Structure 1
Amino acid sequence: MNHSTNKIQAIVYHPRFTAFITGLIIFNAILVGLETYPEIYQPNKVLFRYLDYAILALFAIELILKITAEKKRFFKNGWNNFDFVIVVSSIVLYNTNLVSVLRIFRVLRVLRTISAIPSLRRIVSALFMAIPAIGSVTLLMSIIFYVYAVIGTAFFGSIAPEYFGNLQLSFITLFQVFTLESWASGVFRPIFLEAGWSWLYFVSFIVVATFIVINLIVGEIVNNAQKLSEEIEKETGDIKDDTTEIGELRKEVAELKGMMKQLVERNN
């Protein structure tokens, strides 16, 4: 039993197996994209269906191999649980009438690329680690939005009621300015013609809300990604040290064996 488990582990953890699964996920993503073109999908509907059967079957086999290799440890990994939910849900819903739900899960299979590529996993893990800090930054951004919305409603409500007529409209307008989407021609210039000092309001908001706040969020994610990379490098270094020590021990054992052999030959 242990021998067969070791064989399965050797298969699952082999780089070629990982590369094959990654390629399969990418191929599945390409198929899902091609299905959005009726001129390609309609004449080849049967082919697409059989390819989807084959891909789902291979995903199921991969899942079974991983569970067999890792046993209880499989469900302690969040990425494994993510893969399990997507694959099992795709299988369970395949022959049901919930076609729209099935399509969602088929598209979600593309997200398995994240779990298959270590660099993407690190980025997503860094993003989740940054959520508490992002929450604080979001609160700060909400306060900034509220202050500027009140000021905008008070000063520009009569000039541009469609943008700053009330607090809700001011929030929506500020969000448009925050995204830098047509803020100059659509929002700023008509107000600037009536209130020349309004550039101070808009420029200060963009500098504070867009540049500073976004950089805070990006900086937090980058810091977490760097921490994860350092932890991985440290673990890799420890493994290398352990490997070196094992090599040295083997060398010493070989030397001891040689010395023992020489002593036995002398005694004889």
Structure 2
Amino acid sequence: MKIGLRNFIEHKWFSRVILSVILINAVLIGMATNETVYQSYESTFVFLDILILSIFTIEIILKLILYRKYFFKDGWNVFDFIIVFGSLVLYNTHLVGVLRILRVLRVLRTISIVPSLKRLTSALFLAIPAIGSVTVLMGIIFYVYAIIGTSFFGEVAPEYFGDVGLSALTLFQVFTLESWASGVFRPVFAEMAWSWLYFVSFIIVSTFIILNLIVGEIVNNAQQLSEHAKEESEDMQKLMRDMDELKQMIREQNHHNKNKTG
């Protein structure tokens, strides 16, 4: 029974069905934000929400029966359990706001179903320590450039470089490349022609170099996880082949013993 349940839960069609339900749930959540549509088909929305929650609940129960205590050793399983269990507990309570948040978070279950998304998200979490170091480096760069900007452009453009705080906020706008040329650079450049060195150097250092460090760390972790998953898959395939060979040997031995007995 347990083997049959494992084959059912770990079958690719089971994952595809759950993924389809998650995507349908996402579409329904988006449609429900339209007050006119929701009021016109409120009973349908409520019925489908209960049906989807029931499917998720059955999925979690089946996994709990199969994996038992090992179910909670996977962070993604814990995430799924909190969302589904929380939705069940809060369904008929006055905490409507929390329930709505949990409904929206159901969409994030797509990550736990699709292996490639799980690897990418895991790579992002693994990169957090490196991102923290890069963030500190970026903070130092922002602080240095904010002081330089305040010192040289404070009188020319006080609305942008009046003090260190304003300068840091202005540099953040420049960092995002949002209207920095027309909004910040050109008024300063009209007064001080050499200011392009300040802005161009900051963009090169902060936007291009620092962001590439972060992206590179995430890509590196994603590649390592992909290689690890590939190795695990190859090991599993080898194990399955060995088991098939062992079964074949046992069948041949049994057949030989029967012929010998006969």
Give the equivalent residue in structure 2 for 1:246. Answer: 243
Shift of 1:36: 1.5
- In structure 2, the residue matched to 1:187 is 184
Partner residue, 2:153: 156
- Please, which runs of 5 or more residues in structure 2 have no aligned partner? none
Q: 2:132 aligns with which of 131, 135, 141?
A: 135
The answer on 1:48 being equivalent to 2:45 is yes
User: Structure 1 CA distance, aligned partners of 2:43 and 2:193?
Assistant: 65
Q: Distance in 1 between matches of 2:166 and 2:106?
A: 39
Are positions 1:200 and 2:197 aligned together? yes
Instruction: Flag the 1:178–1:250 CA change in 2: closer, same or farther, 3 A.
Output: same
Cα distance change of structure 1 residues 65 and 251 upon mapping to structure 2, 3 Å threshold: closer
Aligned partner (choices 17, 20, 24) of residue 23 of structure 1: 20
Cα distance change, pair 174–257 in 1 and its aligned pair in 2 (3 A): same
Alignment partners' CA distance in 1, 2:257 and 2:57: 54
Q: How far apart, in 2, do the equivalents of 1:58 and 1:242 lie?
A: 33
Match runs of 1:222-237 below 5 Å: 222-237=219-234
Confirm whether residue 34 of structure 1 aligns to residue 31 of structure 2. yes
Mapped contact 1:141–1:213 kept (Cα < 8 A): yes
Q: Give me the identity figure in percent.
A: 58
Correspondence for 2:89: 92
How far has the Cα of 1:260 moved from its partner?
5.4
Distance 2:8 2:188 in 1: 66
Is the partner of 1:42 in helix, strand or coil?
helix
More deviation, 91-100/168-177: 91-100
Q: Quick check: 1:130–1:224 contact (8 Å CA) kept in 2?
A: yes
For residue 253 of structure 1, report the CA deviation from its aligned partner.
Answer: 4.5
Moved more, 22-31 or 93-102: 93-102
1:261 Cα deviation after fit? 6.1
CA pair 15-141 structure 1, distance change in 2 beyond 3 A: same
CA shift for structure 1 position 240: 2.0
- Which of these residues, 116, 120, 123, is aligned with residue 123 of structure 1? 120
Label 1:223 to 1:96 Cα distance change in 2 as closer, same or farther (>3 A): same
Cα deviation for residue 110 of structure 1 reads 0.6
CA distance in 2 between counterparts of 1:258 and 1:48 reads 60
Q: Report the equivalent of 2:210.
A: 213
Deviates more, 1:223-232 or 1:58-67: 58-67
CA RMSD of aligned residues (A): 1.6
Shift of 1:137: 0.5
CA distance in 2, matches of 1:81, 1:161: 51
CA distance in 1 between partners of 2:189 and 2:151 (Å) = 15
Q: CA deviation at 1:113?
A: 0.6
Q: Write out per-residue CA displacement over residues 167-188 of structure 1, whole angstroms, 9 at most, x where no aligned residue.
A: 1111110100000000001000
- In the TM superposition, 1:46-125 aligns within 5 A as 46-125=43-122
Between 1:7-16 and 1:106-115, the stretch displaced more is: 7-16
Which runs of no fewer than 5 residues in structure 1 stay unpaired?
none
What is the TM-score of this pair, normalised by structure 2? 0.95
Instruction: Report the Cα offset of residue 238 of structure 1.
Output: 1.3
String of CA shifts for 1:98-122, please: whole Å, max 9, x gaps.
1111111111111111111111000
